[in-house]
A and B are shown apart, each in its own frame.
Chain A
Amino acid sequence: MSEIFASLATELRRGTLTLAVLSQLEIPRYGYSLVQRLEKSGISIDQSTLYPLLRRLEKQKLVTSSWDTSESRPRKYYVLSSYGKQVSAQLKAEWQKTSLELQKLLEGDRGNESY
């Protein structure tokens, strides 16, 4: 039972991760700073998922990357490309629409139960 729940919950969260990451890349960030930011707002993401995800987004031309070597250790910074900004905005709108619809659906359900 709890195993089924865990796998369903993971599935539910998986699609939202991309949006969560894109939303934080308005300004350049490196991998670990992104992890910390997301964790602070309560979104836990496996680092073994996040780092590959960043590279995938780069390959899809949604973000661009650059190495910063001015500090003691080199860091790779990612930031939204202009194409990425467009897609991110669309995704955000899509998410808001979906969550609104789902909320209505779930509350309607509760209304039926109390009927």
Chain B
Amino acid sequence: MNLIDLYVYEVTRLLPLKIRDDIALELHSSIQDMLSEDSTEEEIKKQLSKLGDPAKLAHNYTGRPKFLIGPAYYGHYLSILKLSLMMTLTVVLVTQIIFSLTSFSGGINPVSLLLQTSFNVVGQSFVVGAQLFFWVTIVFAFIEKSAGIRDHSSQPGSGSRWSPDDLKDVYSLPNKKRITKSKIIGKLIWTAVLAGLYFNASHLIAVFERNGAGGFESTIPIFNEDVLLSFWPLIILLIATEVALAIYKWVIGHWTRHLASINLIRNGMFIASFGVIVSRPALFNPAFISYMQDQLGQSSIELLNVLHWLVLSSILTAILYGMIDSYAGIKKAQLNVIRLFTA
């Protein structure tokens, strides 16, 4: 392969397949046009350096933006990132402290316990922070790539022309239709708390017993840890969906039909996942069941019946909640802005 072939290859390998051959042919003939019939290697090098960095040339051909998140969403991106980082770090801190308090028994040196706790907090914060950074960035890059959220909102970068009349829409937006930041923050905190509970379930959702040192100790986890944690990919997916939805709400700022349908899908996902996890027969820790038998003096069949009823009613509650939430979203999306403004 000579220099020209190599150069053309370097450019075209960065291009989409569809246009690759055509550009290769054209570039080849253009380069040869620049040169005389019997060019020395020196001359070829000189001409190629005129064309410049192959990567840059390829970029000029594709014309794709060089940024992941453009100026229109960067502000939103930073605030969401800061906010969610702060929240999850708080949850990590709180769960770790509870964790330490409940595993505190007289034998351990308080200093080493403190060290252990701070070590855990730093480690978990790092893992959770990296996950969060990754997901939030992915979601925003996706929003950016899909050329912004096309909506008739007056958000910058939404593509539609802004006119002062849009201000009227903002003003006339009924309060019910608006999504306040505090609501979004509330939902995110709730998500973070649930996630914290899930991943530390064996220590936080358990039977607590008073120990010798005057503290409480979690002795018997209520759930079977292996079964519960086997659902982690599903849970991560749910958390990612929740964060993505929060970002979407944050950016558009009010209920739309589109948002209402996404909300409906998300509620469906939540109910389905909840149902699948809760209805697993081995979900409860056998040790917990026998402990309860001892405490209540009931037979295991009676106890299992009670648990079944609990599971069933929790699923029904989840379905009811999901239906109410979805319905509220649709209701809010359908509130007619213009009519309320003129009325």
Residues of A that sit less than 8 Å from B by CB: 30-33, 46-49, 51-52, 55-56, 67, 73-76
Known: A55-B23, A73-B29. A48 touches B52 (CB 8 A): yes
Residues of B that sit less than 8 Å from A by CB: 19, 22-23, 25-30, 32-34, 50-52, 56-57, 60-61, 63
Q: Who on chain A is nearest to B32 by CB?
A: A73
Kindly provide the distance from the CB of A25 to the nearest chain B CB, expressed in whole angstroms: 16
Complex: how many Å from CA A99 to CA B74?
37
Residues in B whose Cβ lies below 8 Å from that of A67: 25
Kindly provide the distance from the CB of A49 to the nearest chain B CB, expressed in whole angstroms: 6
Kindly provide the distance from the CB of A11 to the nearest chain B CB, expressed in whole angstroms: 16
Complex: how many Å from CA A31 to CA B23?
12
Known: A47-B51, A74-B25. A52 touches B61 (CB 8 A): yes
Kindly provide the distance from the CB of B2 to the nearest chain A CB, expressed in whole angstroms: 15
Q: Is the CB of B26 within 8 A of A32?
A: no
Given A31-B30, A47-B30; 9 other pairs, CB 8 A cutoff? A30-B29, A48-B56, A51-B27, A51-B57, A51-B60, A55-B61, A56-B63, A67-B25, A73-B28
Q: Is the CB of A46 within 8 A of B26?
A: no
- Chain B residues touching A, majority SS: helix
The contact of B51 among A30, A33, A48, by CB within 8 Å, is A48
Residues in B whose Cβ lies below 8 Å from that of A48: 51-52, 56-57, 60
Complex: how many Å from CA A75 to CA B19?
16
Residues in A whose Cβ lies below 8 Å from that of B34: 32, 47
Q: Who on chain A is nearest to B26 by CB?
A: A76
Complex: how many Å from CA A73 to CA B28?
9
Residues in B whose Cβ lies below 8 Å from that of A52: 57, 60-61, 63
Q: Is the CB of A30 within 8 A of B60?
A: no
Complex: how many Å from CA A48 to CA B26?
13
The contact of A76 among B29, B32, B50, by CB within 8 Å, is B29
Complex: how many Å from CA A72 to CA B115?
78
Kindly provide the distance from the CB of B114 to the nearest chain A CB, expressed in whole angstroms: 55
Complex: how many Å from CA A105 to CA B26?
43
The contact of A47 among B19, B28, B50, by CB within 8 Å, is B50
The contact of A31 among B26, B52, B57, B61, by CB within 8 Å, is B26
Complex: how many Å from CA A48 to CA B30?
11
Q: Is the CB of A32 within 8 A of B63?
A: no
Residues in A whose Cβ lies below 8 Å from that of B23: 55
Residues in A whose Cβ lies below 8 Å from that of B51: 47-48
Kindly provide the distance from the CB of B26 to the nearest chain A CB, expressed in whole angstroms: 5
Q: Is the CB of B57 within 8 A of A32?
A: no
Residues in A whose Cβ lies below 8 Å from that of B22: 76
